[in-house]
Structure 1
Amino acid sequence: MAKTQLNVRVDEATAEAARARALQRGVSMNRYIEELVLKDAGEIGQTFVEAASDFMKQYERVFAEEFGRERREAPDAAPTPHEGLPGTT
C-alpha cells in the first residue's frame, strides 16, 4: 500500500510522550501513530455497531409489528425467524 506523508504539530510534551510510547512498544513513531489511528477508527466502527444493535433491540417489537404485518398479509410470505416464538407477535 502506498504511504502518504502527514505533517502534524503538537506541543513538546505530547511529542515526547509519543516518542516514549513508541520506544516502549518497540515500534517506530510512524507505526505508533498509524496504530493509534487504526484503533480509533475501529472503536468508532464498533461503537456504531453497538449503538445500532441497541436500537434494534429497543425497537424490535415496533419493527415486527409494523413490517411483520405486511409480510403476514402477503400470500407467499415466509415466516420470519422470530414468528411463533414466545413473546413475539
Structure 2
Amino acid sequence: MPRAQLNSRVVQAVADEAARRRRVTATRTLAERPEPGTVDAGRAFVEAAADFMQRYESVFAEEFGTERVAR
C-alpha cells in the first residue's frame, strides 16, 4: 500500500474516532481541524504570554494587588 494512501487511511480513522466522540460527522471533524502551523503558533503565543506575565508579575501585583479572583 503506498504511503500516501496509508496516511490518508490513518487520518480518516482518527477523524472517525474523534467524530464518534464528539457526535458529529467525520467530514465536519476534518473541516474543523486546525491548519498546519496554527498549533505551533498558538503554543508560541501562550509561551510568550506566560513569559510576559512572569517578567511583569511584580508590576501587576503593585498595580492590582496580589489577591487572585477565580472565574
**Same fold flag (TM > 0.5):** no
Q: Flag the structure with higher helix content.
A: 2
Q: Could you say which structure has the larger radius of gyration?
A: 1
TM-score, L = length of structure 2: 0.39
